[in-house]
Chains A and B, each alone.
Chain A
Amino acid sequence: MTDETSKQTKQTELSERLALLKKNKAFIIGASILAFWVFSAIFGKLVARYDQDFADYESISSSPSLKYWFGTDSSGRDVYSRVIIGSRIIIVISFLATLLGAFIGASLGLAAGYLKGRFDMVLMRILEAISAIPVIIIALLAVAAIGRASSIITILIIGLIFTPNVARTVRAAVLGESELEYVAAAKLRTEKTAHILFREVLPNVLPTLIVEFTVRLGYAIFAVATLSFLGAGLEAGSPDWGTQVADTWSLIFSKIWWPTLFPSLAIASVAVSINLISDALLEVFEL
């Protein structure tokens, strides 16, 4: 099989798998839920009924009603509006953090899988050492060491923490690809290593990378929410979902459940939707 034929076969295979994906129910449900939250993240201010900080002091801790669909919190703020507007924070931060982790991890994984030898061995031992420490512990330590949390710091921390996982997955895929003929052909053409890695090998491990990306995105959503819940996330009183849960959960014991339930459901729905998408990808791409 020639280099060109091999590429064409893989492209046809990709098209067929994408067609299968579009018919996959888990994917459709997951993508629909995620699309709703992405829409809210982009157009949240239009969808929300009140400003995120607007406080109605005559409706403190009001239960869900026509005026306040998800009720109000203990400061009189509309929970529905805060859940909608809060989606932008968690989705943007999680997406950017995952993108960062995927970019660095994929680059390292490509290099390690292709170059092999001592570079691969040293790099993988370092990444394994980092992976051995729980994600949240590293994140909390980093926030504590830096002294304060912010969106950018959260993105950097989570992105870097996810790097080893992505690198290991991509490396495993590259190890198999690097033995194939099209790579040998590229070497014979005396292509540069960067060209071989990013133009030849990367497209062929892209499905693996996409699945890993969706899995990491799910973890990122939960990591961002958890950091916020533990108080190491964003500004106090921010409408991000983890902070909302942290600020209101103790009210549950006074039977004021709505300020906690709705942001919690939002976290759960995004997490579940991303898992449905990644499960569908795994199934379709037979990974």
Chain B
Amino acid sequence: MSKIEQAKSEVTKSGLSRRHFIQAAVATGVAVPLSQMLGGCSSSSESDKTVFRVAAQEQEGPAAPWMTKGGSLGILSAVGAWLIDVAPDGTLKPSIATKWEGTDAGKTWTFTIRTDAKFHDGTPLTADDVVYTIQSHLNPDNKSQSAGRLGDCTSEGIVKVDEKTIRFDLSRVNANFPYLVASSNYGLLIMKNGEKGDESWVTKMNGAGRWIMVSHTMNEKTVFKRNPDYFDKKRIPEFETMEQIQFVSQSAAIPALKTGELDSIHLLNGLEAEALPESDFYRTTVATCGGLHMHMRCDIGQLTDKRVREAIALTLDREAYIKGVMGGYALVANDSVMDSFPTADKKVPQRKKDIARAKELLAEAGVPNGFKVTLQSWKRDDIDKFTQFVKSSCKEVGIDVTVDLDGSDGGGARWYAYSVFPSVKGSKVPNKGEWLASEFGIAEWAGRPTPDEYLAREWFSSGDWNPAYLDAPELDEAITAWQSALTEKEKKNASSAIQKASLVHTPIIIAYNEIRVSVTSNKVKGVEFNAQGAVWSTGKNA
């Protein structure tokens, strides 16, 4: 037990004597920092190379296909298999579908299904399972979090052509449809026909992925064994067992990594990763379009004036934050989800810190001396730091930001307590401490290989996860144009229009796109992660 834990334990006991009281105070105050100052903390032990232990974020909900939430991605990525995989470099790789083809200008998509895939219970995976899985997400009774990801796909439009072929007849053109059913949409892992993707799924986790769940205790530890029947052995690292251990923060996992109790930490702060000696650990990075999206409600509250929203965006010194706090492990973003993709219009001017202009905008909006506002989100390493960045930046123009971070069980317990559109959207009650009801809030979005899901769910006026409640026809038109764009030129034009409309309205501030950092012990080789946290083999196993 650590000194801090001892101190916490002491004060939770009744009858704390004054002697113990002082001991606890001194232990907390002095012993831990001094011990670190004097002795460091690295004492690695010989790692068992048949077991791979990785630190995972706290779960914000059950690891079930219909109920996907942040901390569960690593678990779902281990047990699940999707129609298509997203590789660490962001490219699409065949998985359950061996090939796919779009016709009718992208309104119809046909997938060829492999016949050698099996669920963990030994049942062969068939086309019926694929049809069932997608239809189950679209069934409103199941309240799937992933329903909104499927865009223009309807239950009737999913057709089993034969035992090896599935056809999707979309209600309108979507050139990027394969990305919507890929592993980046982690809830869409293929389920066995008839099984429910709710909390009951967690007891067996009957996927068809690389790893078979052996035991699972939510927010503690999940143990997996290697799936001997997995159809693509090149993608699975050569460990017999993998353990995902949940930590309240990735920083808190560092001691366990140093002492050899862990082999790897995914999503570590860049500066903290660099502080770990290269003689013992190696870093892998994945550039993503994911990161923190800070929304400002456009329909009610104090941020309805777009000049106020722009003023807040102009207080942020993004480059300094990325360089200083993130150790350079991010790319500057320009308040749209298009910035990190190759189709982005690089001529759109990058927003930079401009306090004078921000003050002008506030004066024009009738709040020259600023105002008080509450920024809500949940407690997590990167969110903690970013909220303080926003608070100190806004202070320069007189905006007094109170930070309200939910710290309960990973935070998502309250923060993600939303109802699917339109029930919450219609209620228009801000600041209920929930993502879709907060006036000024931050949600974390994992990386996606294309911006389609962000656009459809977060930025489109009728999107089910549109936290800013922006209703801008020109943005909707640009998004529609993007979805139907088939050529590179059409995509670039649509992207440019989306980027410009995003800057005009500033419904969401995206200050940076993450470069996700993983740190792994040198005793373990051949491991990398994709943008969703799935463990991949580099093909160079120890």
Q: Which residues of A contact B (CB under 8 A)?
A: 51, 53-55, 57-61, 74-77, 131-137, 148, 215, 218-219, 222-223, 226, 229-232, 235-237, 245, 247, 249-258, 260-261, 264-268, 271-272, 275, 278
Chain A residues lying within 8 Å of B276, measured Cβ to Cβ, are 254
Contact of B25 with A by CB under 8 A: yes
Instruction: Known contacts A75-B389, A215-B18; decide if A264 and B30 are in contact (CB<8 Å).
Output: yes
Chain A proximity of B86: nearest CB distance (Å): 31
Identify the closest chain B residue to A263 (Cβ): B29
Given A229-B28, A251-B251, A264-B29; 12 other pairs, CB 8 A cutoff: A74-B271, A132-B14, A134-B11, A134-B12, A237-B387, A237-B391, A251-B272, A253-B254, A256-B275, A261-B34, A271-B25, A278-B18
Instruction: Known contacts A60-B325, A231-B379, A253-B41; decide if A265 and B405 are in contact (CB<8 Å).
Output: no
Contact of B402 with A by CB under 8 A: yes
Pick the most buried of A77, A250, A256: most chain B CB atoms within 10 A of its CB: A250
Chain A residues lying within 8 Å of B37, measured Cβ to Cβ, are 255, 257, 261
**Of B14, B252, B395, the contact of A134 (CB 8 Å cutoff):** B14
Chain A residues lying within 8 Å of B387, measured Cβ to Cβ, are 236-237
If over half of B's interface residues share one DSSP class (helix, strand or loop), that class is named, otherwise mixed; here it is helix
**Of A53, A134, A226, A229, the contact of B13 (CB 8 Å cutoff):** A134
User: Is there an interface contact between B25 and A237, defined as CB atoms closer than 8 Å?
Assistant: no
Chain B residues lying within 8 Å of A230, measured Cβ to Cβ, are 8
Instruction: Known contacts A236-B387, A254-B275, A264-B29; decide if A136 and B12 are in contact (CB<8 Å).
Output: yes
Identify the closest chain B residue to A226 (Cβ): B11
Chain B residues lying within 8 Å of A236, measured Cβ to Cβ, are 379, 384, 387, 403-405, 407
Chain A residues lying within 8 Å of B255, measured Cβ to Cβ, are 253
Identify the closest chain B residue to A261 (Cβ): B33
Contact of B323 with A by CB under 8 A: yes
Contact of B348 with A by CB under 8 A: no
Pick the most buried of A54, A57, A135: most chain B CB atoms within 10 A of its CB: A57
Chain B proximity of A208: nearest CB distance (Å): 16
User: Is there an interface contact between A58 and B251, defined as CB atoms closer than 8 Å?
Assistant: no
Chain A residues lying within 8 Å of B129, measured Cβ to Cβ, are none
Write out, one digit per residue, whether chain B residues 293-319 have a CB within 8 A of any chain A CB (1) or not (0): 000000000000000000000000100
Chain A residues lying within 8 Å of B254, measured Cβ to Cβ, are 250, 253-254
User: Is there an interface contact between B389 and A268, defined as CB atoms closer than 8 Å?
Assistant: no
User: Is there an interface contact between A61 and B271, defined as CB atoms closer than 8 Å?
Assistant: yes
User: Is there an interface contact between A255 and B275, defined as CB atoms closer than 8 Å?
Assistant: yes
**Of A54, A59, A235, A260, the contact of B403 (CB 8 Å cutoff):** A235
User: Is there an interface contact between B325 and A255, defined as CB atoms closer than 8 Å?
Assistant: no
Q: Which residues of B contact A (CB under 8 A)?
A: 4, 8, 11-14, 16, 18, 21-22, 24-26, 28-30, 32-34, 36-37, 40-41, 249, 251-252, 254-255, 258, 269, 271-272, 275-276, 317, 320-321, 323-325, 379, 384-385, 387-389, 391-392, 395, 402-405, 407, 433
Instruction: Known contacts A58-B324, A75-B389, A250-B249; decide if A237 and B384 are in contact (CB<8 Å).
Output: yes
**Of A250, A255, A260, A264, the contact of B252 (CB 8 Å cutoff):** A250
User: Is there an interface contact between A264 and B28, defined as CB atoms closer than 8 Å?
Assistant: yes
Identify the closest chain B residue to A251 (Cβ): B251
What's the Cα separation between A254 and B271 when bound, in Å? 9
User: Is there an interface contact between B325 and A267, defined as CB atoms closer than 8 Å?
Assistant: no
**Of A232, A255, A271, the contact of B22 (CB 8 Å cutoff):** A271
What's the Cα separation between A275 and B405 when bound, in Å? 34
Chain B proximity of A277: nearest CB distance (Å): 12
Identify the closest chain B residue to A56 (Cβ): B324
What's the Cα separation between A146 and B210 when bound, in Å? 44
User: Is there an interface contact between A57 and B28, defined as CB atoms closer than 8 Å?
Assistant: no
What's the Cα separation between A158 and B252 when bound, in Å? 29
